[in-house]
């Protein structure tokens, strides 16, 4: 525990000096452009310690009422505390981590009596306040503890934090995966190593001038299916959703699945890969919706062909703002957010959600 704390203090000092957190700090020296841009993305900011989360700093006292239960997130000294009461009894615990940057939503991992819970109250950017966390398990709590949150199995903790954070370098190897101590010893956010495998070996070999050992997989060469697999580690792959669901509108947020349903999608073409529309490091370039027109037109323009040599059709209806008609937005009930449907298609008025 003390070791983990000392490591966190070192991380805070580096952060104060404007350096990105380890293990991605060493990359910044040689790849300044990617590093500078990355640490401003929502992916990089998708998890934060409660004392640092900008959303909790800006909202030091949040409250919400749901049936007989009243919720509050407030500060005790410097520490944000999450609490729920039914009027007679109260459960109240310090927040361990804030997950989600908050533009769409933010949910809290809270420790209570040595176990971890996913908060039943989440913050939503659209309503600038708390509402119930998405998921059937949060719908009708039959006890104060269930109203507090969902008990997380060690498997839940590991899955959750592997997508939203990385291991703290030097954290004790003996920590039991998914335990409270393991969960504490995380560095928040999506890091370079989430997408670039074995970067530490590369970095040290680069520093010693060993070019062969330093070689990295060139992600620029990936075709659409390979990129979908890479991003699908977190955004879920086509196979994940095809096998496990969900069916219906809840799957609109799983872009690698949705885009594969489009006639536009060709697994071997780079022009329809995630990175054709989204720079993985720099999200500031996207100016909706005209920004995306040139991606559509990399295929849908006079004379362009598919990789197998087929000619592509053109739109007779309009010449700009393609995504506004062909990638409509849908709100998952309770999510307070409209997700762009990556199933690119001709949308008929009043048609039910396909898939
Ligand atoms: C000592 C300097 C140095 C450090 C530290 C370093 N790199 Fe590199 N990296 C290089 C050089 C030089 C290249 C080769 C550039 C080229 O061939 O375009 C490279 C190439 C890469 C590539 C492959 C680019 C391509 O061709 O697609 C990636 C990805 C990469 N580095 C990521 C990282 C990450 C992540 C880290 C942090 C763990 C890191 N690097 C740390 C110097 C460094
Ligand atoms: C390690 C997990 C992980 C991987 C891998 C990953 N993402 Fe993400 N991504 C996230 C999380 C978490 C969020 C939610 C950020 C938030 O709002 O808190 C997100 C959000 C996004 C967003 C919306 C937010 C924004 O910045 O506009 C885009 C676009 C995105 N990811 C694209 C990609 C692409 C493209 C890839 C593959 C090159 C990728 N992601 C790979 C975890 C990941
Ligand atoms: C397989 C990887 C993965 C796992 C596991 C995971 N997340 Fe996420 N999370 C993501 C991605 C990717 C996004 C971006 C979602 C999007 O734009 O559809 C995200 C977004 C979020 C958001 C932002 C609000 C929203 O709904 O978009 C919150 C809050 C969140 N996750 C909390 C959690 C919590 C709490 C857990 C564990 C119980 C968890 N996540 C497990 C990948 C994951
Ligand atoms: C969400 C996934 C993701 C994350 C996180 C990520 N990268 Fe990348 N990176 C990619 C992809 C995909 C490419 C290929 C670029 C392309 O297709 O345009 C790439 C390319 C690169 C390159 C080669 C540059 C080029 O244009 O060929 C370097 C260097 C690099 N990344 C460094 C980093 C560093 C340093 C970090 C951490 C600060 C980082 N990346 C974080 C996905 C990611
Ligand atoms: C042809 C362009 C295109 C491709 C390819 C594409 N996207 Fe998107 N994506 C968009 C548009 C347009 C939006 C909505 C942007 C907005 O409203 O600001 C979006 C939004 C998102 C978001 C934010 C969630 C939301 O809807 O608010 C995520 C996450 C995302 N895309 C991930 C991916 C992933 C992962 C892939 C690869 C499987 C991918 N995208 C491929 C165009 C594309
Ligand atoms: C990799 C090339 C490629 C890209 C990029 C691409 N498409 Fe397509 N698209 C195709 C192919 C191939 C078809 C099927 C044959 C055809 O219509 O020419 C198609 C079909 C369509 C259709 C007709 C679908 C139907 O149900 O008949 C629409 C609408 C469409 N694309 C819109 C778009 C929009 C909007 C974008 C940008 C967001 C886009 N496409 C990007 C290749 C692409
Ligand atoms: C105002 C809404 C709107 C916008 C904006 C728009 N489209 Fe369309 N598009 C449609 C409709 C509606 C159809 C179906 C026409 C029909 O079948 O009668 C269509 C059809 C298509 C088709 C199939 C053509 C065929 O011959 O079947 C393609 C490909 C396409 N659009 C691509 C694009 C691209 C690329 C852009 C941006 C440059 C774009 N669309 C902008 C509404 C739009």
Percent share of the chain, pLDDT over 90? 80
298 alpha carbon to ligand 7 midpoint, in Å? 15
* pLDDT (0 to 100) of residue 290: 82
Asked whether residue 230 is domain-assigned, the answer is yes
Residues 6+ apart with CB under 8 A from 310: none
For the cut 70, the answer to whether the pLDDT of residue 15 exceeds it is: no
List, for residues 79-101, the tens digit of each pLDDT value: 999 999 999 999 999 999 999 99
Task: Please check whether residues 66 and 177 belong to one and the same domain.
Answer: yes
Query: Is residue 3's pLDDT more than 70?
Result: no
Does residue 209 form part of some domain? no
Say how many Å lie between the CA of residue 226 and the centre of ligand 6.
Answer: 20
Residues 30 and 121 reside in one and the same domain: yes
Q: Domain boundary residue among 188, 204, 235? A: 188
- Which residue, chain included where needed, has tokens 């109250």? 121
List pLDDT tens digits, range 243-258: 999 999 999 999 999 9
235 DSSP β-pair partners: none
Whether 238 and 156 map to the same domain: the answer is no
Residue 105 in 3-state DSSP?
Answer: strand
Q: Taking Cα atoms as reference points, which of 72, 66, 20 lies closest to residue 190?
A: 20
Residue 342 alpha carbon to ligand 5 centre in Å: 7
pLDDT of residue 1: 43
Query: Are both 21 and 167 inside the same structural domain?
Result: yes
Residues 170 and 231 in one domain: no
Distance between CA atoms of 33 and 37, rounded to whole angstroms? 6
* Best of 202, 215, 218 for a ligand 1 pocket test (most atoms within 8 Å of beta carbon): 202
The ligand 5 site (C-beta within 6 Å) comprises 228, 231, 235, 255-256, 259, 272, 274, 276-278, 288, 292, 295, 323, 327, 339-340, 342
Residues 245 and 171 in one domain: no
Beta strands 115-119; 61-66: pairing state: unpaired
Are residues 69 and 86 in contact, defined by beta-carbon separation less than 8 angstroms? Answer: yes
- Asked whether residue 178 falls in the same domain as residue 227, the answer is no
Which 8-state DSSP code applies to residue 133?
P
Same domain, 34 and 117: yes
Same domain, 168 and 263: no
pLDDT surpassing 70 at residue 76? yes
Residues 30 and 160 in one domain: yes
Show which of 133, 165, 188 is a domain's final residue: 188
Q: Which of 109, 221, 235 to mutate to test the pocket of ligand 2 (most atoms within 8 A of CB)?
A: 235
Residue 81 lies in a domain: yes
Task: Read off the pLDDT of each residue in 204-233 and give the average, rounded to a whole number.
Answer: 93
95 within domain boundaries: yes
Output the pTM of the full model.
Answer: 0.96
User: Residue 28 in 3-state DSSP?
Assistant: helix
214: left (phi over 0), alpha (psi -120 to 50) or beta: alpha
Q: Which is more confident, 178 or 212?
A: 178
Q: What does the pLDDT average to over 300-318?
A: 90
Model confidence at 182: pLDDT above 50: yes
Give me the number of domains the chain comprises.
Answer: 2
| 215 in any annotated domain | no
At which residue do the structure tokens 């640490």 appear? 39
Adjacent-strand bridge partners of 234 = none
Contact (Cβ atoms closer than 8 angstroms) between residue 168 and residue 185? yes
> Contact 260/238 with Cβ under 8 angstroms?
yes
Residue 193 within a domain: no
- 200: in domain: no
Q: Which atom of ligand 6 is nearest to the CA of 276?
A: 5
Does residue 350 sit within a domain? no
* Alpha carbon of 194 to ligand 4 centroid (Å): 10
pLDDT confidence tier of residue 187, bands split at 50, 70 and 90? very high
- Choosing from 167, 188, 209, the residue where a domain stops is 188
Distance CA 201, CA 199 (A): 5
Question: How much of the chain, in percent, has pLDDT values that exceed 70?
Answer: 95
Does residue 250 sit in the same domain as residue 329? yes
Domain limits at 277? 220-340
Q: How many CA atoms lie within 13 A of 141 on its CB side?
A: 23
Question: Which residue did the predictor score with more confidence, 100 or 198?
Answer: 100
* 155 in the same domain as 255: no
pLDDT of 265 reads: 97
- In degrees and rounded to multiples of 5, residue 197 shows phi and psi of -75, 150
| Residue from 280, 285, 286 whose mutation best tests the ligand 4 pocket (most atoms within 8 A of CB) | 280
């Amino acid at each position: 525990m003390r070791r983990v704390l000392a490591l966190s203090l070192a991380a805070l000092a580096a952060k104060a000096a404007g350096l990105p957190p380890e293990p991605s700090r060493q990359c910044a020296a040689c790849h300044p452009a990617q590093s500078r841009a990355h640490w401003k993305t929502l992916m990089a900011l998708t998890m934060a310690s409660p004392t640092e989360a900008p959303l909790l700093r800006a909202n030091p006292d949040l409250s919400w009422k749901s049936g007989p239960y009243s919720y509050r997130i407030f500060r005790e000294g410097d520490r944000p505390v999450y609490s729920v009461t039914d009027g007679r009894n109260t459960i109240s615990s310090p927040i361990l981590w804030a997950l989600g940057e908050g533009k769409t939503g933010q949910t809290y991992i809270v420790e209570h009596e040595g176990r971890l819970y996913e908060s039943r109250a989440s913050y939503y950017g659209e309503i600038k306040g708390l509402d119930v966390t998405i998921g059937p398990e949060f719908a009708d709590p039959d006890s104060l503890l269930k109203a507090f949150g969902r008990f997380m199995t060690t498997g839940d903790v590991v899955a959750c934090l592997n997508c939203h954070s990385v291991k703290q370098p030097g954290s004790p190897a003996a920590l039991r995966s998914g335990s409270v101590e393991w969960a504490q010893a995380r560095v928040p956010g999506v890091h370079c190593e989430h997408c670039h495998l074995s970067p530490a070996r590369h970095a040290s070999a680069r520093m010693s001038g060993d070019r062969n050992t330093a070689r990295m997989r060139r992600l620029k060469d990936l075709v659409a299916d390979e990129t979908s697999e890479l991003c699908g580690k977190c955004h879920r792959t086509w196979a994940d959703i095809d096998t496990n669901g969900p069916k219906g509108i809840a799957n609109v947020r799983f872009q690698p699945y949705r885009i594969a349903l489009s006639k536009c999608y060709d697994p071997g073409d780079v022009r329809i890969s995630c990175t054709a529309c989204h720079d993985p490091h720099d999200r500031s370039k996207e100016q909706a919706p005209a920004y995306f027109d040139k991606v559509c037109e990399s295929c849908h323009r006079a004379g362009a062909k598919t990789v197998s040599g087929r000619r592509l059709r053109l739109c007779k209806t309009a010449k700009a703002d393609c995504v506004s008609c062909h990638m409509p937005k849908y709100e998952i009930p309770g999510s307070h957010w409209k997700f762009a449907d990556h199933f690119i298609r001709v949308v008929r008025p009043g048609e039910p959600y396909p898939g």
